[in-house]
Amino acid sequence: MRQSRYFLKTSKTFSEDDKVVSAKLLKQGGFIQESVAGRYYFLPIGHKVQQRIMDIVKEEMDGVGAQEMVSPILHPVELWKETNRTNTTGFELMKVKDRRGSEFALGGTAEEMFVDLVRKYQLSYKDLPFHLYQFSPKFRDELRARGGLLRVREFIMKDGYSFHRNEEDFTKTYEEMKRVYSRIFMRMGLSTVIVEADNGYIGGEYCHEFVVESEIGESRYFTTKDGTYAAHEDVAKFKRNPANAGAEMFPFQIIDQPKWVETMDDNVKHYGKEKNNFLKNVVYKNRITGEIIIAVVTGDLEVNQSKLEHALTMVGQLESALDEDLAKLGTKHGYVHCWGHKGARYVGDIVLADARNLIGGQKEDATDSVNVNYGRDFTCELLADISAAKSGDIAEHGGALIEGRGIEVGNTFQLGFHYTHLMEGAVYRDEDGTEKPYYMGCYGIGIGRTMAALVEKFNDGKGILWPESVAPFQVHLLCIGETDEKLEKYADRVYELLSASGIDVLYDDRVKMSAGEKFFDADLIGLPYRVIVSGKTMAEEKIEVKKRSEKQGVLMNAETFIAQLGNK
Binding interface with a copy of itself (CB under 8 A): 4-7, 9, 33, 35-36, 39-44, 46-47, 50, 65, 67-76, 91, 94-96, 98-100, 102, 106, 113, 116-117, 120-121, 126-127, 130, 132, 137, 139, 141, 143, 153-154
Q: Assess contact for 223 and 392: CB atoms under 8 A.
A: no
Q: H-helix or E-strand containing 486? A: helix 485-500
| Rounded Cα gap, residues 21 and 28, in angstroms | 10
Phi first, then psi, for residue 341 (nearest 5°) are -75, 110
In the complex with a copy of itself, the residue whose CB is nearer, 216 or 445, is: 445
In the complex with a copy of itself, the residue whose CB is nearer, 127 or 218, is: 127
In the complex with a copy of itself, the residue whose CB is nearer, 8 or 230, is: 8
Closest Cα to residue 504, out of 55, 136, 155, 180?
55
| Rounded Cα gap, residues 246 and 356, in angstroms | 7
In the complex with a copy of itself, the residue whose CB is nearer, 85 or 542, is: 85
Q: Assess contact for 162 and 173: CB atoms under 8 A.
A: yes
In the complex with a copy of itself, the residue whose CB is nearer, 65 or 330, is: 65
**Shortest spacing between CB 565 and a copy of itself, in angstroms:** 22
**Shortest spacing between CB 163 and a copy of itself, in angstroms:** 9
**Shortest spacing between CB 100 and a copy of itself, in angstroms:** 8
Q: What is the CA radius of gyration of the chain?
A: 29
Look up residue 358 and give its DSSP letter: B
Q: Which residues contact 25 (CB under 8 A, 6 or more apart)?
A: 14, 455, 459, 463, 464, 524
In the complex with a copy of itself, the residue whose CB is nearer, 46 or 203, is: 46
**Shortest spacing between CB 388 and a copy of itself, in angstroms:** 27
Closest Cα to residue 454, out of 192, 76, 248, 89?
192
Give the pairing type, strands 505-508 and 529-533: unpaired
In the complex with a copy of itself, the residue whose CB is nearer, 112 or 213, is: 112
| Rounded Cα gap, residues 306 and 299, in angstroms | 19
In the complex with a copy of itself, the residue whose CB is nearer, 360 or 472, is: 472
In the complex with a copy of itself, the residue whose CB is nearer, 113 or 243, is: 113
**Shortest spacing between CB 116 and a copy of itself, in angstroms:** 7
Within 10 A of 477 (CB to CB), how many other CB atoms are there? 28
Q: H-helix or E-strand containing 452? A: helix 447-457
| Rounded Cα gap, residues 474 and 477, in angstroms | 10
**Shortest spacing between CB 75 and a copy of itself, in angstroms:** 8
**Shortest spacing between CB 107 and a copy of itself, in angstroms:** 11
H helix intervals, 188-244: none
Phi first, then psi, for residue 28 (nearest 5°) are -65, -35
Separation in Å, CA 54 to CA 134, 414, 457: 10, 23, 19
**Shortest spacing between CB 545 and a copy of itself, in angstroms:** 27
**Shortest spacing between CB 436 and a copy of itself, in angstroms:** 19
**Shortest spacing between CB 144 and a copy of itself, in angstroms:** 10
Q: Assess contact for 304 and 234: CB atoms under 8 A.
A: yes
The CA-based angle 182-186-188, given to 5 degrees, is 130
In the complex with a copy of itself, the residue whose CB is nearer, 16 or 256, is: 16
